[in-house]
Amino acid sequence: MLGELGATEVGEPAEHVTQAWSTVWKIDTDIGRFWFKENCTPHRAEGDVQSAVARLAPSYVDEPVGVDGDRGWLLTRDGGVTLMDAAPGGSRGIEGEALVRLLEDYGRMQRMTVGRWKDFHSAGLRVALPRDAAEMSRRQVEWMTSTAEDDPRQLTAEQRQAVLDAAPALEEAGDVLADGESLWLWTTAISSLATFFCPGRSRSRTASSTSPKRFGLIPSARW
């Protein structure tokens, strides 16, 4: 992939982080830094999903420069300084002003995906439709009830019944929502400030800039 871009590696790739779902390597070249990510099998669609979002919302998401969906690989250019690292005062991105801007831009990006769930489904995104909510909650509550007694996720019989009693209301709400077009991309990455980049590519830009934040999609995204 790098050869096709005319890039020459400078030194050896360096492992940046390994987690349960992926490993990320840092690759420095004569034309800048790149990041190579290898996802585990359940998350191998990340590159194709990020490409789909980037085509709809290029102001907010950079398209990978290379994707191998069968292997779960993607190669991206360096996005610059992250919101977490740019935060003044050493508070790792928890300034109220920065978070407000982040959520506003995240909402704008989400709006660009409204009604396009089939595009993302084709890219491999896990789809959770409103009509599935009640059945998903039933499966989840039964699993949590069956966990070991010392597992903090275990539900009591009363808690289990409360969820099951709420299932009909979830079914009704799911039917209403499924009739509309107000479905959008969602990702748990909103809680990870290390996946959001400050505007522009210059490391001198700060979290208070008025340009749009840029988002790094992660494999926990779903519809």
How do residues 38-56 score in pLDDT, each as one tens digit?
998 888 888 998 898 899 8
Domain ranges of the chain: 3-123+183-215, 130-178
Residue 14 has pLDDT above 90, yes or no: yes
Contact 84, 207 (CB under 8 A): no
Residue 215 has pLDDT above 80, yes or no: no
Could you tell me which residue, 206 or 31, shows the higher pLDDT? 31
Half-sphere exposure of 160 (CA within 13 A, CB side): 14
Residue 63 has pLDDT above 70, yes or no: yes
Short-list 207, 185, 182, 184, CA closest to 197: 207
This prediction has a pTM of: 0.68
DSSP-derived letter for residue 68 is E
The lowest-confidence range among 95-99, 156-160, 194-198 is 194-198
DSSP-derived letter for residue 185 is -
Short-list 72, 24, 21, CA closest to 44: 72
d(CA 209, CA 199): 7
DSSP-derived letter for residue 131 is G
Q: Where are the beta strands (DSSP E) in 41-105?
A: 66-68, 73-77
pLDDT at 221: 45
Q: How confident is the model at residue 212 (pLDDT cuts 50, 70, 90)?
A: low
Could you tell me which residue, 211 or 55, shows the higher pLDDT? 55
